[in-house]
Amino acid sequence: MAAISREEVAHLARLARLAVTEDELDTFAGQLDQILHSVARVGEVAADDIPPTSHAVPLTNVMRPDEPRPGLSREAALAGAPAAEDHRFRVPRILSEEG
């Protein structure tokens, strides 16, 4: 017996405001039925002694440790800017003064 009927697919399509043809109702009913059976099979296999995982293999942090090092001076950073004012980047205003 199918887990989802053609009428249920039509109802779901109406709720989602999807235009579905008669042929698509049959197609979607079969596809959704297969999806529901697959999900049910996964539920049967899952066991309490298997811990949940987010990845199939363990992950290790491969980032290097933070080490302080010299950066650009203010003058060097502003040297490539199209416009600077009062030792800052000058950019076009995108918000008005009114909040």
Which domains occur in the chain, in start order?
A: 6-45 (1.10.20.60)
Alpha carbons 30 and 23: distance in angstroms, whole number: 11
User: What's the pTM?
Assistant: 0.45
Counting every residue written for the chain, the total comes to 99
72: left (phi over 0), alpha (psi -120 to 50) or beta: beta
Transcribe 37-67 into DSSP letters. Answer: HHHHHHHHH--TTSPP-SSSS-----PPPP-
pLDDT in tens, 8-52: 999 999 999 999 999 999 999 999 999 989 888 887 876 777 777
pLDDT at 55 (0 to 100): 81
